[in-house]
Amino acid sequence: MAEKSGLHPTYIGGIERGERNATIASFQKIADSLGITLAELFRVGLHPLEEMFNAPADDIMGAIHKGFRAQVDVKGKLAELYLAKYLGNLKAGKAIDDFKWSDKDGVPDFVITYKGQKYTVECKNLRSGEDGIYKQKPSYKVEVQKTRNSKDGTNTRSYSVGHFHILAVCMFNQTGQWDFFFIATKYLEKAGDPNLLKVFQPVPFSPTTPWEKDVIVVLKDIAGEIKIDYPKQKPRL
């Protein structure tokens, strides 16, 4: 190792015995001599995905980096993860009773228990780039539909008005931040069929009633604890 890393054998021995404090530069040379990254050198134990795929984390990340669809899927799950952390903080602060995170087709992403009542939440990412902007509104754009149609080809992707109570929109694709805007489903735009939600929904650049950054405000509105003064004529977003 000393020969491969260019470090003195006594120095290597001192590090092995815990007698020397190595610099980051030295650790980088040691990692290079072993053919691994600096992160791998300091890693204790394997991530479950590394065990599942029998591949190092850097290779898994490299594969995701090369796959557009993989990146879209990861961003979707990251949005749910950060929403779960947000809800976890609310639970810890006793603002909500509990929440559950689901990963089943046809089932809302989250169920929040608030004052003994359960409220369902769908989590969606804004569309990215220019495709995520309504140029005539102007506002951001979020696609609100399910991942797949039924096997017989009928349209089952559109959400019914009563499928979930709250839409949580992650702003990352447009702002680079894992922040959320929340809205009660009753305020979302309807499709030609009034029982279905419109696929593309406008999202304001900044929170504008009835959009909120605090999901508790939306929960209180749904629960009838407060009344949101929703304008009869929609303002320019």
pLDDT of residue 205: 96
Determine the pLDDT at residue 236: 39
In a domain, 147, yes or no: yes
pLDDT at 230: 65
- Number of domains the chain is built from: 1
pLDDT score recorded for residue 136: 83
Instruction: Decide if 124 is inside a domain.
Output: yes
- Residue 36 included in any domain: no
pLDDT for the residue 157: 80
pLDDT on residue 235: 43
Closest-CA residue to 217 (of 229, 206, 205) = 229
**pTM > 0.85: yes or no:** no
Three-point CA angle 102, 144, 171, nearest 5°: 80
Q: Quick one: pLDDT at residue 106?
A: 82
Domain range enclosing 137: 75-223
pLDDT means over runs of 10, the chain (237 residues): 91 91 91 86 85 91 95 96 97 97 91 98 96 91 78 68 96 97 96 92 94 97 86 47
pLDDT of residue 156: 63
Residue in 235, 227, 160 with CA at minimum distance from that of residue 204:
235
25 within a domain of the structure (yes/no) = no
20 within a domain of the structure (yes/no): no
Residue 40 lies in a domain: no
Domain assignment present for 233:
no
pLDDT for the residue 204:
96
Strand 166-170 to strand 117-125: parallel, antiparallel, or no bridges (unpaired)? parallel
Whether 31 is in a domain gets the answer no
Q: Which pLDDT score is estimated for 102?
A: 95
29 DSSP assignment: H
Q: What is the CATH number of the domain that holds 200?
A: 3.40.1350.10
* Burial class, 115, CB count within 10 angstroms (exposed 0-12 / middle 13-18 / buried 19+): exposed
